[in-house]
Each structure stands twice: as structure tokens, then as C-alpha cells.
Structure 1
């Protein structure tokens, strides 16, 4: 190398001690630089190969997969209950001067007005950065409930991310929020049940008793958890005792031979009541047993654009238009050594789904109670399993009724019953209507979750209630709800708010179902944020400009993604938005997660 350099030749002809080694050192240095450059080039090539064939990073632009994945959004801590939640801000990216200035807490339903001028963390954050495996579907077929990335059939240059719900060669039906399929016209539709690991990732918070709103506490607004006896018009005084403070809710009971019930009433304060509370008015006279239907409310969709901030109700703040009966709840339950029994109950469509735990043996028994005992799909009226729950212990217990299946977890471990607790409500002997039910003797779906203890003392803390994902049966140019044309949102919400009208309303029977035929290598994706997801339900009515690839244009008229447009499987959120305070660019470690 040095012989091509005049200065290098002169250096080689000098024999002084100081520079006698320079002919050797210079080539070594250049060789080191070359190796460094080669290493960088190899790293870049490997990175490109990795990106092309193994994995790639994506940024989520919109909120169609919220709350699983965040598009552009605001990240808030409720000013009253301090619960952390996110509201969408993608509307700010649509070329308008609109700014999102408020959002509604999913826990206490307080409308939170953002402090854009002086709160750096109320800025609009970009969507989640996720890692996608492009190799996953080269070694196995896509699985139902996977979160997938694919090329949008109407524009294969554009990537979409949704959840896979429909598989090739099946007819998919969406009805009352659930997914049903069949592979032949000769067989009935069967509900598609989520595996255990997907139940909580697809759950939406309804209430967390560890985050209590300070304004409601100060105004003595009734607790949503209330002691209850059948036929009671006011909470019995010799049952559960409720204590609420800054640390959350604690319920205690001393029970005899009769089970003592604690039930959840979906008693939400209105904006008018919130206004009166702000003026110092007490809410002690509010009926503690007042309730309304649990709905498909999405905090992410409760964003309020600036022009509507002074409105009492904006179209972006819908409290949900669909009753959701599939529920999951969990709580920390501690019992005394003499307690004999704990009972967990979820009501759906007037049917009581119950898990009874013998605190002496730990045996858990599942049963379905309507006007009479109903049977599981296996024909058995009860199913049993062994658990480690015993009297005198504190345990974290979770009970779920999702997709016509009962499940029990103890300390986050799923309990295996004799067989899966599948049931088919259409087979029940008692008259069954898939709608909320209510009676004065028993509130049923107006107080759909209950915990009871018999024969001893108990303490209940950290109660959390979730509702299941609800898929809306709408396609093409239909309004994004299950009801036919001409039904106004105000009428739907009025019905959902009045349990006394549930049994007489004809609106429940008017809810629609939609179906889609899938062929070979055709997949049906939908977003977790069902009301605001542009997914396979609505592609059939897209107005697309002519494109050179006629097949791509044709696919946009279909409600599916062909196999050759699948990109890969979403793996993890490796970089959610950072925090601007207290230190700029502080990593948001809490929201880094595997994508389920």
C-alpha cells in the first residue's frame, strides 16, 4: 500500500530509530480502517436481510387496534381517580387544525380537559413502535386471534395491522359482538372461543376499586360495590361493610350460615351530577342500587376535538351503544379460618353463571342457574376442579364468562376442570333471550357480578371488572352499530340506561348479524377498536382510484386478505412513546410488552 504513496516511499528510505517502524504501522492502520468499514457494511447488509426476511419495525399510525396498540394519542392520568388511560389523537393528522383537548376516564368516567399549554406530557404522542416477525408464517399457518401485519388489498404499498378472526374456507358470522364460523352450509355456526392467554389481552376495563375518584368520595356518591340480599331495596346493614379512602375500597363481612352477597352495580355519575359536585352538592341521596347496562365504551374513542369542548355531549364521547354481557372480574379475597364457602357469580342475559369454592377442601364447582339448573355442552350440570384455596388464606381470584365458556384463575394460574366449561345458551331449557334482564327481586344484568362468603369472616380488596371485546356487526356503508337504519344513538343509550325498560323493548330483536364467505388462502382481519377500525368488514365499499394491478383492485372489493399479502406476526411493543417530564425522552418501560 505504501509504495503507491510518495510520502510513504520517502519514509521507507529513512533509517532513523524514530520512524524505522512506520512502513509497517501505516499499512496496519489502513487495514484496521478497512476492517471497520467492512464490518459496518456487513452489519448494514445483515440488517437489511434481517429486515427483509426475519423481522421489521413498524410504527402504529392510527387507533384501530386500541387499546392493544396505540396510534397517535394523548396519555392521561385522570384528575380525579388517577387511573392512567389514553385517548386518540389521529384526528390531528387529517390535515385540519383540530386539536384533541379532552378525553373521558374509563374507570370513573370523568371528562378530563388537557392542559396543553403547561403540561408537556399532554402533548400528542406518536403511535407504538412494534417489532413484526416476517418469518413466523413461513413455518406455520396464521392462527386465529393473532395480531397480523399485511398489505392492504386496495393499495399493496400500504401496511395494515389488525387481529385475525376469520380463516380460509369458512363462513364467518358476527352476531351480538361475538365471532361464529362454519365450514359447510350443512352445519350450524359455532362460537369461536379465545384461548386462555387471550382473554385478558382482549379485555377492557370497566372498574378498578383501587382508583377511586376524589370528587365522588367527597360528595358521598354511592360505591359501585354494594351489600345485597334478594328482594332488598336498600343495602342490608348486617352484611358487607364498605370502606373507601385514598388507598381504594375495602369490603369486610362476618357471615353466618347464609351467604352474604356483595354485588357490582354499574352506577355511573352523569356530567350534570359532576357539575353539581363541583358546586359542592352532596350525592348521598343517589340510589345505591341504581345501575345501567355495561357497554362497549372505549376510552380511546372519547377524544374531544377543540370546537366541541363546551358541548355537554359530543359524538366522540359515546358511552357505548352495545350491551356487553361477557365479563371477567378479579379480586384479592382473604378469609378467616372458620369460613366455609366462597361464591363467585356472573350474570349474562338473566342466567347466573356460578363458581362455588369449598374452603375446607378447595374444590371449585361450576354451575349454570336459570329458572332451573342448566347443562354444559357435555351434558353435565356441574363441573369440578381442585384448587389450593383454603380458609384462612389470601388469594387472587379471577372468574370469567367469555365466549360461552367459564374459566377460573387462582394467583394467575388457570384452573383445569374435568373438561372445558363450554356451554350453548340456545340449548337451555329455560326461555333465553340474548339481552339484559332485570327484575325488582334480583337486578340480574343490572348487577351482573357478585361475590359471597358463608360461615366466617372475609376481606375483599383490589376488585377489577373487565368486559370482553365486542365486534360490531356493520359493513360497507352501514352505521357503526348493530341496529338498523333510523335508530338514533340517543334512543339506544336511553334504553341501556333504564333497566326497567329492558324486558319490554323490541330493539334487542332488531340487532343485525353479518356474514362473510372466505375461500382458499383468504383471511379476515378486524381491529380491536371495533367502532373506529377500517377493516375487512368495510372494504367492500371502498372507492379506489384505478391501479395498474387489477387483482389488487379486485381484492379491495372483497372482505379478505389473500395469503400473499400477509407480512408477518406482531411480536412486541419495543418502544412506546417516551415521557417529556420530569426528564425529556424518559423511556416508557411500563408499556413495553409482548403483543397478545
Structure 2
């Protein structure tokens, strides 16, 4: 009915963590966790006191600092107290019964048997369902019903791709275009999205810019735009005091918004993967108006599309889009209670999965419709490789004739599922990978068809740069090979164990570095989303 498991790796970090350790950034004092690899442990393999064999750099997810004081465990005699992976509960019986109500659903966090060995328990997020074609485009998930896909495309997707050709494709350009025209973006559920927002910058933890950083250090900083400004972001509480009657803006500059994870190793001894730009962004704050008759503005730009939400003192709320030639088009308008001096508002403005929305005190006020803002999969597939241009994000705040104070100003970015190639060339037995350097399964250049009979599922890790998942599998265990019908890159339905639903034992507390972590960390016990 219910079974307990231990998270083995960091593929679902930071929501679910494998073996890890705590670190506090030397520059901004933000605390975060980073993963502990097996080669970071003591010679006898004990998990509670690892010693580092090589230099291990961690990068602060908040300010981006990854040198000097953030070189963790860089001396062989410095010991670290490693925390074990999260212990979770998995609900098994609903999947055994199945059906539309209890069966596996997209965005579930699921536990299943690793298809490569048939024994290890893996945990990932369920992305693709039987009877679909799945394709990752610009970090988002797109699917088409297999029944709507022409027979020639289904037939092509049913044949393994040519091997030994890095640019091999199973579909012709016209077939790629036709399939793209059938794709629909699959938006995350609100529950899942709570775990899929990743921190970019929390202004409560400003970096100490008086400390010199490495040449490539580019810390985030809020800077007023041209001219005399009433904005002051020098402290965690951002303040605006009007200096004129015109709207004045402040812009987030510094490190680009990318799919970086503080959990991951950025050691110089590791291959450093350049971050992918992420255009899906959330700006959150607590705004406290202090009088006046003006408005607060929030702006999010993704590629060529800029969206601006304005909240007037009289309670008028508008959402507009600024397109080519700076033409502004109003998309939505609502009315809320007038703003009162000193009464705080929780404000969240997001561009997520091609939907823009503004929430005030947890209630959605204005939002775009699919008719107003929608993806163009055909253009994105045909212009593959230009995703950095499409995903470049800019965040701004503006105000006019409205003195205010902004607290807990935070920028988050959405999870970005990478369209990586399979880089692993050999397995542990030196067997060559026939798919090495080919596009991963379900990625932009290699969509995957999931069968209904037998049922195939497609699963990805939330920590995409560090996750070996459906995209990158290339082997199958003997049990699956004996079936003669296993499709590489999928999880067979009978290999699903259940849905992960609760972290019952996160890493506990210790009385000292030498004692076991037996004190419960009740505050980190949580539902899995």
C-alpha cells in the first residue's frame, strides 16, 4: 500500500535531495544545499563524514558567487557532515488500480524501476503519457495525440534513429513541420509548479559588492534606469519616492536568468555546462503603498514580448503587451479594492508556459488568454538553436506618483528541461553507447512516440542538467530485453511503483559532527508536489 524509499541522487533537486551538505554563501549569506558525490566520501564509504579528493566548487544560486569563500571542502583534512538523502513515502495502490481517477498523471512525482538495471529505484517527474508524441522545445513540454499524427510520422518515430551520425534525424523537414503544427504546450499544474520555481535572486540577501570576485562574477543588482530616479534599492527594503510626475523604472541587471542550480558541482575539474537562458520568470514581493495617487508597474520581457501589469491606487489593474515599434495593447482589465496607505499587498507577476498572470494576495486578477499569447511550435522547431534569443528575460519595476516600500523582492525562474545529446560514450563495462552524441529521446530534434499497448511513460528529473532520465537512457536490463518490445527512453507501465507523496524524514539534526542525524527536522517534513 505505502512503501518507504530513500532519494538516491540529486536529479530532483532542490525539491527532493540525495546525499547533500549545507553551505552559506560567503558573499550574500544565502544558505543552500549542494550534492555530495560518492567520490567525496571517506575511504571506507561512510556517508556522514566525507573528505574531498578533488577541489569542489559550489555556486550560490542567489548571487552566483563560485570562487574563494565558496570553494567548499577544498582541503583533504577538512571534514564535512553529509546529510543523507530525503526519505519519502510512496503510495502504491492507486497505480495498481489505475483508471482516469487513480492512474498515473502528468506532473506526478513517481518511483519506478530503473530500466537500465531493473533493480534500482528511480524517482522522476512523469511527463509523457501513453498514446502521445512528446517533444521538448525551449525547455517546455509539448505533446500531440498519436491518433492525430499522420501514419508516415508515426512509422518513422517507431524506428530507432540511425546510429553513429551526430545530426541524424528520423523525420524529414516537412514531417518535423507537420508534427510541430499538431503540438500543444503542456502547462504545469499549480501544485507541481510550487516545486518547479527555482530561485534566481532574493533581494533579502544582497551580495557584499565590496568583496572582490573572480573576473566572470556578475552579481544581480537592481539599478535605476536613465535620469534622476526616486528608486533606492541599496537595502533589502526597496523604496520609491517620486522625483517627478513621470513613470520611473528600476531594472534587474547582472547574471542572466539561466538554469543554474546551487545543488550542482561547478568544480573546475568538471565539465562546465553553459547555462540555458530561461524566459519563464516570476517576480514576487510585498508592496506597501505610502499614499499618493499613482500606480505600481511590473514588467516581464521574454524575447521580443514585453508584458506590463499596473496596479492603480484606485484599484484599477491592467495587463498590457508591448510589441513591435513599442505599440502597447491592453489585454485585460479588472478592479480591486482601492489601495490603502500602509496596507501591504502580496504581489506576484509571472510569465509561465506562454501564459502571463498577475496575482494579488493569492488571487489571480488579470491574465492572458491563448488567443492573446500562445507558442508557435513550428517556428521554434524550424529555428532550433535560437532558443537563447527567444528566452532572454528582462525584469523591471516601475512607479509613478506612488510612494511605496517593497519587501521580500524575489525573482524565480521556471524549470527548464534541456534538449541534450547523449554524451555518455561507454558504460561501466566499457560497452560503447550506439546513441552517443545523438539528440536525446523526446528532445527537440528527436521526438518520441509513447505506445498505448504496452503502455510507455516518459519521465524527467527536475534538475535537468544533472538528471539521467528518459532523454539519456541507452541501455535496457535483461528483463526488458527479453520482451523484445521495450522502447529505449521510456518507463514501461508495469515498472511504475507508485506516486511519491510525502517526505517523512528529511536530513535530521546532529548534536555534533560526529553523531548520527537522529533529531527530526520537523520543519522540512512536507508533501511532495
Q: Which residue of 2 aligns with 1:163?
A: 125
Q: Which residue of 1 aligns with 2:186?
A: 192
Gapped regions of structure 1 (runs ≥ 5): 1-53, 269-292, 305-312, 439-443, 487-510
- What is the CA–CA distance in structure 2 between the aligned matches of 1:176 and 1:428, rounded to whole Å? 12
- What is the CA–CA distance in structure 2 between the aligned matches of 1:388 and 1:513, rounded to whole Å? 49
8 Å contact 1:104–1:317 — kept in the other structure? Answer: no
- Pair 1:590–1:316, CA change in 2 (3 A): farther
Q: Does 1:242 align with 2:205?
A: no
- What is the CA–CA distance in structure 1 between the aligned matches of 2:373 and 2:468, rounded to whole Å? 32
- Pair 1:119–1:329, CA change in 2 (3 A): farther
Output one character per residue of 1:534-583: Cα deviation in whole Å (capped at 9) or x when no partner.
Answer: 111122x22x56x256446752x422112221111111211111233569
- What is the CA–CA distance in structure 2 between the aligned matches of 1:141 and 1:212, rounded to whole Å? 45
8 Å contact 1:203–1:468 — kept in the other structure? Answer: yes
- Pair 1:76–1:343, CA change in 2 (3 A): same
Task: State the shift of 1:457 in Å.
Answer: 0.8
- Pair 1:525–1:577, CA change in 2 (3 A): same
- Pair 1:159–1:372, CA change in 2 (3 A): same
Output one character per residue of 1:336-391: Cα deviation in whole Å (capped at 9) or x when no partner.
Answer: 2223221111000021012122220x23222221116899xxxx951233444625
- What is the CA–CA distance in structure 1 between the aligned matches of 2:365 and 2:520, rounded to whole Å? 36
- What is the CA–CA distance in structure 2 between the aligned matches of 1:100 and 1:407, rounded to whole Å? 43
User: Which of 250, 254, 266 is residue 262 of structure 1 equivalent to?
Assistant: 250
- What is the CA–CA distance in structure 1 between the aligned matches of 2:483 and 2:327, rounded to whole Å? 50
- What is the CA–CA distance in structure 2 between the aligned matches of 1:477 and 1:317, rounded to whole Å? 13
Q: Which residue of 2 aligns with 1:285?
A: none
- Pair 1:550–1:436, CA change in 2 (3 A): closer
Q: Does 1:106 align with 2:61?
A: yes
8 Å contact 2:28–2:63 — kept in the other structure? Answer: yes
- What is the CA–CA distance in structure 2 between the aligned matches of 1:217 and 1:359, rounded to whole Å? 38
- What is the CA–CA distance in structure 2 between the aligned matches of 1:76 and 1:222, rounded to whole Å? 18
Shifted more, 581-590 versus 333-342: the winner is 581-590
Q: Which residue of 1 aligns with 2:49?
A: none
Q: Does 1:148 align with 2:95?
A: no
Q: Which residue of 2 aligns with 1:401?
A: 351
Task: State the shift of 1:529 in Å.
Answer: 1.1
Aligned positions of 1:345-424 closer than 5 A: 345-360=299-314, 362-371=315-324, 382-388=331-337, 390-392=339-341, 393-415=343-365, 423-424=373-374
Output one character per residue of 1:117-160: Cα deviation in whole Å (capped at 9) or x when no partner.
Answer: 8987x322211101111123335122211111112233332211
Q: Does 1:225 align with 2:207?
A: no
Q: Which residue of 2 aligns with 1:559?
A: 489
- Pair 1:347–1:218, CA change in 2 (3 A): same
Q: Does 1:209 align with 2:143?
A: no
SS at match of 1:514: coil
Larger radius of gyration: 1
- What is the CA–CA distance in structure 1 between the aligned matches of 2:312 and 2:482, rounded to whole Å? 61
- What is the CA–CA distance in structure 1 between the aligned matches of 2:219 and 2:272, rounded to whole Å? 24
- Pair 1:437–1:580, CA change in 2 (3 A): same
SS at match of 2:238: strand
- Pair 1:262–1:217, CA change in 2 (3 A): same
8 Å contact 2:276–2:388 — kept in the other structure? Answer: no
- Pair 1:409–1:211, CA change in 2 (3 A): same
Aligned positions of 1:544-583 closer than 5 A: 547=478, 550-551=481-482, 554-555=485-486, 557-581=487-511
Q: Does 1:172 align with 2:134?
A: yes
8 Å contact 2:201–2:220 — kept in the other structure? Answer: no
Task: State the shift of 1:452 in Å.
Answer: 1.0
Q: Which residue of 2 aligns with 1:300?
A: 263
- What is the CA–CA distance in structure 2 between the aligned matches of 1:223 and 1:405, rounded to whole Å? 26
SS at match of 2:90: strand
Output one character per residue of 1:87-128: Cα deviation in whole Å (capped at 9) or x when no partner.
Answer: 1113437999846744111112223133578987x3222111
Shifted more, 562-571 versus 381-390: the winner is 381-390
Q: Which residue of 2 aligns with 1:528?
A: 462
Gapped regions of structure 2 (runs ≥ 5): 46-51, 151-180, 426-435
TM-score (norm 2): 0.76
- What is the CA–CA distance in structure 2 between the aligned matches of 1:191 and 1:474, rounded to whole Å? 19
Task: State the shift of 1:419 in Å.
Answer: 5.9
- What is the CA–CA distance in structure 1 between the aligned matches of 2:22 and 2:462, rounded to whole Å? 19
- What is the CA–CA distance in structure 2 between the aligned matches of 1:589 and 1:224, rounded to whole Å? 35
TM-score (norm 1): 0.68
Greater share of helix residues, 1 or 2? 1
User: Which of 418, 441, 445 is residue 472 of structure 1 equivalent to?
Assistant: 418
- Pair 1:181–1:437, CA change in 2 (3 A): closer
Q: CA RMSD in A?
A: 3.6
8 Å contact 2:108–2:125 — kept in the other structure? Answer: yes
Task: State the shift of 1:522 in Å.
Answer: 1.6
- What is the CA–CA distance in structure 2 between the aligned matches of 1:571 and 1:264, rounded to whole Å? 36
Task: State the shift of 1:62 in Å.
Answer: 0.7
- What is the CA–CA distance in structure 2 between the aligned matches of 1:418 and 1:465, rounded to whole Å? 20
SS at match of 1:201: helix
Task: State the shift of 1:299 in Å.
Answer: 1.3
SS at match of 2:127: strand
- Pair 1:250–1:416, CA change in 2 (3 A): closer
Q: Does 1:538 align with 2:492?
A: no
Q: Which residue of 1 aligns with 2:280?
A: 326
- Pair 1:170–1:262, CA change in 2 (3 A): same
